Chains A and B, each alone.
Chain A
Amino acid sequence: MDYFIELLFSGLTRGSIYALIALGYTMVYGIIGLINFAHGEIYMIGAFTAFIVATILSILGFPALAIIVLAGLAAVIWSASYGYTIEKIAYKPLRHAPRLSPLISAIGMSMFLQNYVLLAQTSDFLPFPQLVPDFAFMEPVAHIVGSTDLVILVTTTVVMICLSVLIKYTKIGKAMRATSQDRTMAMLVGINVNRIISVTFIIGSSLAAIGGMLIASHIGQINFYIGFIAGIKAFTAAVLGGIGSIPGAVLGSVVLGLTESFATGYVSSDYEDVFAFSLLVLILIFKPAGILGKVDTQKV
């Protein structure tokens, strides 16, 4: 039973991280219809930035809490900046191009960023410090749920709530919803569509950065390639839940996280990635709209 609960929490933790990344995918897809292939790299850059800042701060002797907060802030700021810049360079010029062009451009951007970090930093796996100290009150259940797990779950929930509030109740949220439904009309009613799209990228990238930092702290190491796998899995989660739908991204992420956790726990851990990819292929073949998505009929 203990094992089951351990896997359950492990799955929820994974799902939370996937959710933070998947939200970025789904929001961007909802608003400009693009699969932002480079989104995984934003997550990776967030992890790297947090790593660099955290290391400097710990060398300087900052307290643990300050390190987490400042490293997280740095990760968010820089990832958001990268997201903003990428959109302006690789996607904005292609807004009216046929659908495949921005996708190929995104692939190129993904390759570019991966190798940029590889060359500027290193190809080694860098050890990431555990930023979250082990809480005393978690002691009795520490073998099932770790402190970092708890922080991840809590952070993700808080972030999710904030995002929902933003989308539903603020002016910007409304503008985002309008732009994703009908971009031309949004422009005609005076919404600065360019700014809204940039905001979407910024929010998505910030979430991914938080996810990057948390998971790096959880796993204990980072590498220039982590963005690729995490990106694909988060994309799987977004599609599973219904791409373009925010609750869908969360739902899909939780399902994927739990599935992976139980599959690797009870079946085999070698084929972990194969589960995710197979799930992706199967969903796209049988139910591309996902759990919560709608099938869009094409007008002829």
Chain B
Amino acid sequence: MINFTEIKRSFFISLWFVFLTFPIMVIRVNSIEKTVQWRWINVVYILVGSFVLSMVFRYMLRRREMQSTDNGDEKGKSDQNIIHRWFTVPQYRNTIYGVLLALAIIFPLVFSTYQTSIMTTALLYVVLGLGLNIVVGLAGLLDLGYVAFYAVGAYTYALLHHFYGLGFWVALPVGGLLAAVFGILLGIPVLRLRGDYLAIVTLGFGEIIRLVLENWGEFSQGPSGVSNIPRPSLFGIDMSLDTALIYIYYLMILFVIVTIFFVNRMQDSRLGRAWIALREDEIACQAMGIDKMKTKLAAFSLGAFWAGIAGVIFAAKTTFVSPRSFTFMESAIILSIVVLGGMGSIIGVIIGAMVLILLPEYLRFLSEYRMLAFGAILVCMMVFRPQGIIASVRRTYTYKKQDSTEREVA
């Protein structure tokens, strides 16, 4: 695969990139002090980096070409490699879940409170990812304003406490339900739009919510946000900061389990099948008697519900909410998690959230490049592996005439 023409090609490409990135990467001006800084070393980085990357990129493009022409038949089977085997055979899968659960439970006992807090954040994104997965991964509705529902949940708790002194456990269902209501209200006018228009409208809606929260000071307390939000209590016992954080961690584990259970049940149901049919072919799906609007609204509002719940927990964990936490970037990050993990795959989303949230934390020196990496991941995943790390596996139904049905589910 590596021959001289390819090397020559990549060399010229790297020269192109040196030209392309020259003003931005090499030159830095200070117009006040009238100085110019030339960072020539970057030329070397770009030259080498883009040479290597272009070789890799073009190689993978060529491989992608060959794969698609070769085996149209084998495509379905080749996706099911050994890893999938682990996740689909019930005994293996349950063992993995069991091990993960055990690890999760002993985590705070082994690691510091700081680490636990980080893990809690990662778990929060797991819930968000699973919620968005219902909307994008299963039903195929690209919601770029998902963060708006997250904000609704968070601000519900913040303001219920600020104005009425209500506690966590009251705010939790209210936040979720309110977000679901917003989901339905937004969904009704918007869900009949075509895919890319839907994406932009939801993005617009997300931004509107954020801007309203920022500017409607009397209600939302404006850009400075709402603070002093209490953490969830355990039967009114006073807890130290450390204990409270660990308590939230365990609550989070519980919520993740509930969410996984919920998504699993939804996926493998009449509604779940309808979502997948909807994602595949809207017209055929309607022709088969599926009510498009009702099905879409169900996905949209359920996704919103989970975002709302996650929002309440977020507010409780950080004890402070401000509009700044709910930008479009957040929606993009959650989208990256779903895209990376695999649209429609629960395990994939979990892995995606862990990778995308934990890696920058543990590789501190890389955290600056986090958003850069997210962007690159979105592009690369779409080009090379749109089904995600773990492609969702279709279930096989075995029907035994005597006993009840047995199902193996991904």
Contacts and interface: CB of A to CB of B under 8 A. Distances in A.
Contact flag (A, B; Cβ within 8 A): yes
Interface stretch (A105-113, A169-177, A195-203): A105-113
A48 B375 contact: no
B90 interface: no
Interface of B is mostly: helix
Contact of A111 (B57, B144, B203, B375): B375
A82 interface: yes
A114 B372 CA distance: 8
A280 B283 contact: no
B293 interface: no
Contact of A105 (B208, B368, B383): B383
B197 interface: yes
A63 to B, nearest CB: 17
Contact of A103 (B31, B32, B196, B332): B196
A100 B195 contact: yes
A78 B22 CA distance: 9
B24 interface: yes
Nearest to A298: B283
Interface in A168-186: none
A94 B189 CA distance: 30
Contact of B332 (A55, A111, A277): A111
Interface residues of A, number: 66
B93 to A, nearest CB: 29
Contacts of A81: 19-20
A2 B20 CA distance: 46
Contacts of B194: 288
Interface stretch (A133-141, A154-162, A267-275): A267-275
B365 to A, nearest CB: 13
B24 A274 contact: no
A277 B204 contact: yes
Contact of B205 (A122, A281, A300): A281
Contacts of B28: 121-122
A115 B375 contact: yes
B193 A101 contact: no
Given A110-B375, A112-B375, A228-B328, A284 B36 contact: no
B215 A270 contact: yes
A270 B214 CA distance: 10
A150 interface: no
A268 B288 CA distance: 50
B266 interface: no
B255 interface: no
A127 B32 contact: yes
Contact of B142 (A103, A271, A278, A281): A103
A210 interface: no
Contacts of B199: 35, 100, 103
Interface string B96-128: 000000000000000000000000000000000
B193 A53 contact: no
Interface stretch (A5-13, A85-93, A249-257, A258-266): A85-93
A74 B27 CA distance: 14
A113 B27 contact: no
Nearest to A229: B207
A120 interface: yes
Given A81-B20, A101-B386, A129-B31, A280 B375 contact: no
A232 interface: yes
A56 B36 contact: yes
A200 B212 CA distance: 37
B371 A114 contact: yes
B193 A288 contact: yes
B201 interface: yes
B382 A104 contact: yes
B31 A277 contact: no
Interface in B144-181: 144
Contact of B201 (A82, A94, A280): A280
Nearest to A273: B211
B170 to A, nearest CB: 31
Contacts of A228: 328
A40 B290 CA distance: 39
Nearest to B336: A108
A45 interface: yes
A188 interface: no
A288 B194 CA distance: 10
B25 interface: yes
Nearest to B198: A284
A47 to B, nearest CB: 11
B383 A111 contact: no
A189 interface: no
B29 interface: yes
Residue among B283, B329, B377, B382 facing the most chain A CB atoms (10 A cut-off) = B382
22 contacts: A35-B200, A49-B23, A51-B31, A52-B23, A52-B27, A55-B31, A55-B34, A59-B34, A78-B20, A100-B199, A103-B196, A104-B142, A104-B339, A105-B379, A108-B379, A109-B375, A109-B378, A116-B24, A126-B31, A232-B203, A271-B215, A281-B205
Interface of B: 16-17, 19-21, 23-25, 27-29, 31-32, 34, 36, 42, 57, 61, 64, 140, 142, 144, 189-190, 193-197, 199-201, 203-205, 207-208, 211-212, 215, 283, 328-329, 332, 335-336, 339, 368-369, 371-372, 374-379, 382-383, 386
Given A104-B378, A114-B371, 14 more contacts: A35-B196, A51-B29, A55-B34, A89-B379, A100-B196, A103-B195, A104-B335, A107-B335, A108-B382, A228-B328, A270-B215, A277-B208, A278-B208, A281-B204
Interface of A: 34-35, 45, 48-49, 51-53, 55-56, 58-59, 74, 78, 81-82, 85, 89-90, 93-94, 97, 99-105, 107-117, 119-122, 126-129, 228, 232, 235-236, 239, 270-271, 273-274, 277-278, 280-281, 284-285, 288, 298, 300
